[in-house]
Every structure is written in structure tokens, then in C-alpha cells.
Structure 1
Amino acid sequence: MGRKAFEEMSPYWPTATGPLADAMNEIPKAVFTQKGFKVPPAASSSPAAKSWAETRVLDGDLAERITQLKQETGKPIIAFGGAGFMRSLIGTGLIDEYNLVIHPVALGGGLPIFSGLTKQLDLKLLSAKTFPGGVVLHTYNPA
């Protein structure tokens, strides 16, 4: 995840309860950031807080760090972050699958994640799932 997403999520999840909280607290985490960021110490001694406190910080070249992370054993990597982090991640060309969630709300603004591409990014639709309330999840692979 990006540094800003980590800073927003890490105070909440260690004390949250329920199935989603359990998953968020058990998965290994890596924060991609510019040099100098330090993960703050755990706010409590709970196992969940320690999990967030033991997050790895990966700085330096994003493409190199993603390549190294993809070579490790484990489950698929899921990226959380804001538009800036996603633009940087998309720019590496190392994303294997895009899950784009469309909400039925027109805000009239926002930060695009596909701006600044240096070449055309062709995507192949794998699936589309509609949820109650009109939210739609589109899953794509790079073509």
C-alpha cells in the first residue's frame, strides 16, 4: 500500500473486529514510500496492532521493489492506495489484474489513475459483477 493509505488505515484496523478486520490484520503488509518513512510503534500490544507495526517499508525504485515482492512465495499481492500511488504502480507495467469498482455516483471531479501513461494500455475484460445498490466490479487483465 501507499504511505498515505497506510497512515489512514493503520490506526483503525488493529482495534476493529469481524471477518474483514481479521483478514486485514493477518495479511502481511508492505508500505511503498519515499526514503525516510518509519512505521510508528503499535498503539497497543494486541496481535493485530503488532501485525500492523511489523509492516515492511519498501523504498527506492518502485518497479524493482514490486519485482522483488512478486518473486516471494505467498498469495497474490493486492494494492491499496490513492490515485498517485496507483498511477505510479500502473506506470511500472507490473500489474497482472485490475479490479475497478464503479460506484453509481457522479462527483464531477476526482483524481484519474490512468493519466500520464507513456503508452497505450490495452485491457481485456474478464468479468463484471453487479452488487446491490448498483456498484459494479470490472476485472481486467492487460491484453
Structure 2
Amino acid sequence: MGREQRETDIQSVYHHMQMITRRANARARHLAEPLSLVEHSLLRFIADTPGTRATDIAEAFALNRSTVSRQVGTLLDLGYAAYDDAEAGRGRVLELTDLGRNRLAESAAVHRAAVSERLKDWSEEQISSFAAALSRYNVADSQ
């Protein structure tokens, strides 16, 4: 593969990733009570990272602490997250409420169904290869 083709393919990957994100956002808006991309991302992070604090979110997402504070405040106001008062120490530990878990599960189910629909005509091998490529990309992106 020549350098020019490589650059063309990288641009294509980038373009398709943007389309996936845009469509996921549009799909979420069709829910009765849609989660924004930010709400979904933060709820997923809190769910996947027990003991997380707002400062952990700021670091993981490379955001300013005041930005995360406002976003976490929205989750608290909506009743999707709460502070775990049993945890003592520096910073307050966040946890999902039952409502937050339910909203995240509903949102994730809509997105998973869309992925499943798009992959319905793919072979097992194609899906496995795609999953492996995405995993490899995400591992490289996390370093």
C-alpha cells in the first residue's frame, strides 16, 4: 500500500467514525428521554469505574475540573448519579442511582440494537475481525 492510499484510507476511517457518532447521537434523540452523548459517556464511565470521583473523570476525558463539575451536577440533578457517602477520603465517590442504571441500560440497548441491525448480513468471521480491529484501535488510543 502506498503512502497516498494509506492517507486516503485513514481519512475514510475518520469520516466513518464521525458518521457513526453522529448517527448514534441522532438515534439517542429518538428515545422518550434521550441521554446526551456527554450524559451517556459519563454514566458509562461511572458504571465501569467503581470508586470514581469527578477528578478521575476530568483526567480520563482530559477535561477541566469545572467542566466536569457542571456535568456531574447535571447527572446529580437528574437523579442519574449520587455521591456514595459511605466512602470517605479525598473527593466524593460517584455511583449510579437505579434511575441512572436504567437510563444507561435503555440508551445502550438502543445503540446495541442498531449495531446488531447493521451487522445482520455480516459473517461471523467479518464480525470477529471487525471487533478485533476496533479493540486494537481502542487499545492504541488508550496509551
TM range (shorter): under 0.3
Higher helix share: 2
Higher Cα radius of gyration:
2
Normalized per residue, which structure has more strand? 1
TM-score by length of 2: 0.26
- TM-score normalised by structure 1 residue count: 0.26
